[in-house]
């Protein structure tokens, strides 16, 4: 019997001391992949990630290494970038640090994979893509929401023609992020400082770009209104600071096929809906509402016929007549994309979520901010390689 072939892939994981890098990418993606025995790509062939943790705080790194079981760590990025044992560079730092670090990794000949947004401006984002292409390195950007169970169920309905002609998409995202004085904040303070790469427009419009482009149709124009509803918050040292970045965004998009999409994104909203993210898709033959994991549909035949009468309690319960869309087992969305990226690195399988796709998200965020400043609709030109 032939012995199993194991492809060990050294990964420089920069930014694991942050919330996303540690939780979603290390503890819920790479560590589970290692524990499951790697990524099986054949009867006797496996990809095994071999990470080294990188950050600026040695005490934090040592603790994360102990908790995760990943023993290799360093604060010397330059040294590990020069090490041929690690051909892949991953970046989950704060957005303002991403461009110089990813650029250094590309210059060192590393394949790169990074959190979104890859940059804070379209010019920088597309510049990274061109740099990677010129260097001949493989590249990718995290677009995790495409593998959420709720959105996968929405996609299955669309692919089956359930909606008929899609008319509109409506999204509600957000929750109340505490200011930090009376109750601890759930998000880091840099999120609310523009000078540190913060802001909900640059964060969430990148998500909505790839969700809309991949599930419903290319975004063609945007009208966006941003707001900083909470002007003062308290940082990790319990010190007050002025919020210079937007904490809420109200955006409408026109998609190809005459589809209208609208997304409210806010860190200053209290949740009275099914989930922290809900998306409703309405079509001529049916509608569906998806959260992060669950999805409910209502066909044309099951649609009630309400009659407007505000003087009495509604005789209809509008939560009736919706059927849950069942599905199989779903893995962590970040882990799913990591496995696809590792297959791309080792087997050269297609991976279309590149730095170019990441740049499209930055472009939409930048044009959303321009729309807010102009208080006008702004066209979204095709961003091509």
Ordered structural domains, the chain, with CATH = 5-144+334-353 (3.40.50.720), 149-331+362-379 (3.30.360.10)
Question: Nearest-5° angle of CA 289, CA 291, CA 293?
Answer: 125
pLDDT (tens, 9 = 90+) of the chain, 385 residues, equals 468 899 999 999 999 999 999 999 999 999 999 999 999 999 999 999 999 999 999 999 999 999 999 999 999 999 999 999 999 999 999 888 999 999 999 999 999 999 999 999 999 999 999 999 999 999 999 999 999 999 999 999 999 999 999 999 999 999 999 999 999 999 999 999 999 989 999 999 999 999 999 999 999 999 999 999 999 999 999 999 999 999 999 999 999 999 999 999 999 999 999 999 999 999 999 999 999 999 999 999 999 999 999 999 999 999 999 999 998 889 999 999 999 999 999 999 999 999 999 999 999 999 999 999 999 999 999 987 7
Alpha-carbon distance of 155 to 161, in angstroms, equals 10
- Spatial contact of 157 and 349, defined as CB atoms under 8 Å apart: no
CA distances from 238 to 89, 198, 218, 231 (A): 34, 19, 43, 16
Nearest to 334 by CA among 113, 157, 129, 69: 113
Sign for the CA dihedral angle at 336, 337, 342, 345 comes to: positive
Query: What local confidence, expressed as pLDDT, does residue 327 receive?
Result: 82
**What is the side-by-side strand order in the sheet with 248-255?**
323-324, 295-299, 286-290, 277-283, 166-174, 259-266, 248-255, 219-227, 378-379
- Spatial contact of 180 and 216, defined as CB atoms under 8 Å apart: no
Q: Which residues pair with 287 in a beta bridge?
A: 282, 298
Q: Which residues pair with 378 in a beta bridge?
A: 222
């Amino acid at each position: 019997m032939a012995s199993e072939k194991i492809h060990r892939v050294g990964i420089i994981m920069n930014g694991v001391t942050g919330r996303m890098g540690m939780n979603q990418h290390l503890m819920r993606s790479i560590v589970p992949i290692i524990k499951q025995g790697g990524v099986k790509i054949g009867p006797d062939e496996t990809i095994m990630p071999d990470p080294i943790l990188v950050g600026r705080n040695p005490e934090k790194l040592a603790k994360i290494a102990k908790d995760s079981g990943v023993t290799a760590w360093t604060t010397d990025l330059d040294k590990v970038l020069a090490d041929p044992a690690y051909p892949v560079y991953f970046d989950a730092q704060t957005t303002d640090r991403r461009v110089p670090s990813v650029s250094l990794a590309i210059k060192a000949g590393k394949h790169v994979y990074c959190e979104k947004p890859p940059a804070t401006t379209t010019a920088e984002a597309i510049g990274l893509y061109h740099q990677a292409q010129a260097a001949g390195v493989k590249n990718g950007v995290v677009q995790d929401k495409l593998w959420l169970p709720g959105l996968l169920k929405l996609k299955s309905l669309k692919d089956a023609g359930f909606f008929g002609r899609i008319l509109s998409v409506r999204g509600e995202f957000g929750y109340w992020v505490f200011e930090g004085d009376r109750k601890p904040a759930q998000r880091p303070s840099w999120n609310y400082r523009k000078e540190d790469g913060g802001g909900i427009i640059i964060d969430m419009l990148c998500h909505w770009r790839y969700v809309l482009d991949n599930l419903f149709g290319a975004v063609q124009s945007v009208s966006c209104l941003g707001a900083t509803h909470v002007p003062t918050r308290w940082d990790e040292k319990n010190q007050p600071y002025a919020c210079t970045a937007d904490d809420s965004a109200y955006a409408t998009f026109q998609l190809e096929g005459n589809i209208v999409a609208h997304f409210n994104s806010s860190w200053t909203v209290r949740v009275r809906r099914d989930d922290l993210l809900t998306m409703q898709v309405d079509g001529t033959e049916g509608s569906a509402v998806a959260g992060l994991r669950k999805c409910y549909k209502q066909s044309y035949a099951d649609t009630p016929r309400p009659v407007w009468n505000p003087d009495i309690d509604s005789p209809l319960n509008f939560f009736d007549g919706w059927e849950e869309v069942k599905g199989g087992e779903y893995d962590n969305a970040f882990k799913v994309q990591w496995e696809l990226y590792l297959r791309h690195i080792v087997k050269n399988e297609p991976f279309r979520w590149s730095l170019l796709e990441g740049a499209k998200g930055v472009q939409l965020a930048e044009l959303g901010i321009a729309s807010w400043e102009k208080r006008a609709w702004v066209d979204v030109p095709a961003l091509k390689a």
